[in-house]
Amino acid sequence: MILLLGPIIGGFLTISNNTWRTTFWFCFAFGALVVIVSFISLPETFRDSKRFDVEEKLPTAAISSATIITAETSSTSVDTATINKNEIQQQETEARKKKVINPLRPILLLCYPHISLTSLAAGVAFAGMFTVKTIVPTLSEQKHHFAWQVSLSYSGAGCGHLLGALINGQLSDRLLLSSRTKRGGRHKVEDRITINIWPCCLIFIPGRLLLFGWSINNNLTYWSAIIGFGIQCFGVNQITSAMGAYWSDAIHPSQAASANAAGVFSSMVLGCCLSLTAPPMIDRIGFGYYSVFLAGLSWLSAGLLLIVKLYGQRIRRHFGFEQNVERKD
């Protein structure tokens, strides 16, 4: 919903007396409001595992000891429990000292082919969408002479994201369970790459890019560009959501957040590179042929996903992720 309303609100803010500065003041006020409401209303979800695990284990040990010892040996058991508690605390202190925070550790997960290939596929989808978003204002002003109406050009993108999120939430789970049922109840991580992803990579995203590019290149109605942008965002939502779930399942559970961070990092880097190179490439070859270039990247990403779909389980087994290899539910 924010993706749908945000550009529209921003378009009207830019034509106010304070021009573009109003947009930043609005974002500051809105962000402050979100922080305050979240701090007051949302419960704390962080769990201090070290603290709670110690407190839970010791009473259990004391109770089990009390059931098998007599009253004469109770003092000995208390001393033993105290010693065990001190040993546990000492081990935790040593482990905490040895633990080194490495912000680059999530990026190292890209060394695993099943993470790097899916990250590239999701990155291509996101980067193509991000690139179009950055050049829409310039193209709309040059081709259709829009002013504040540029914000309405993003309405198709907002509808595409909204519709994609609603459909993907229902469709991906059903397709995942269907694949598991056909396999006799056995779960396979690569089932996350569901069948709805292929039309997005092969048809929706590249078709939309071609529609957007050549409609602007040939000075067609702006509605074709708006509708095309919505179709692309619909497809991108399907791919990025599925890849996020795959990264969480295809790696060790303790590294799920790091795997998602690595995937998002790849998307942002590709988005940065494509958006920076887009203006000079468009000036050189035109947006029509540039859209062919982006469509080709989308078809290439489909090939990367196909490799993971067919050989992902072998890759994971080769790198020792046995706990995530096909299992019986």
Q: DSSP per residue over 259-327, as a string?
A: HHHHHHHHHHHHHHHHHHHHHHHHHHHHHHHHHHHHHHHHHHHHHHHHHHHHHHHHHHHHTT-GGGSSE
Task: Provide the β-strand partners of residue 186.
Answer: 328
CA angle 167, 1, 157 (to 5 degrees): 70
The domain over range 111-328 is classified in CATH as 1.20.1250.20: yes
Question: Strand 327-328 relative to strand 186-187: parallel, antiparallel, unpaired?
Answer: antiparallel
What are 155-197's pLDDT values in tens digits?
777 788 788 878 877 777 788 778 778 877 777 888 888 888 8
What are 70-94's pLDDT values in tens digits?
444 444 444 555 555 566 666 666 6
- Token pair recorded at residue 215: 């409609």
Q: How far apart are CA 56 and CA 68, in angstroms?
A: 20
Per-residue burial over 195-232, b if 16 or more Cβ lie within 10 Å, else e, is ebbbebbbebbbbbbbbbbbbbbeeeebeebbbbbbbb
Give pLDDT, residue 214: 83
Domain ranges of the chain: 49-98, 111-328
Residues constituting the chain? 329
What are 270-319's pLDDT values in tens digits?
988 888 888 888 888 888 888 899 999 999 999 999 999 999 888 888 88
pLDDT band at 68 (very low <50, low <70, confident <90, very high): very low
Q: How many CA atoms does the CB half-sphere of 320 hold within 13 Å?
A: 0
Which of 137, 142, 157, 158 has the alpha carbon at shortest distance from 14? Answer: 137
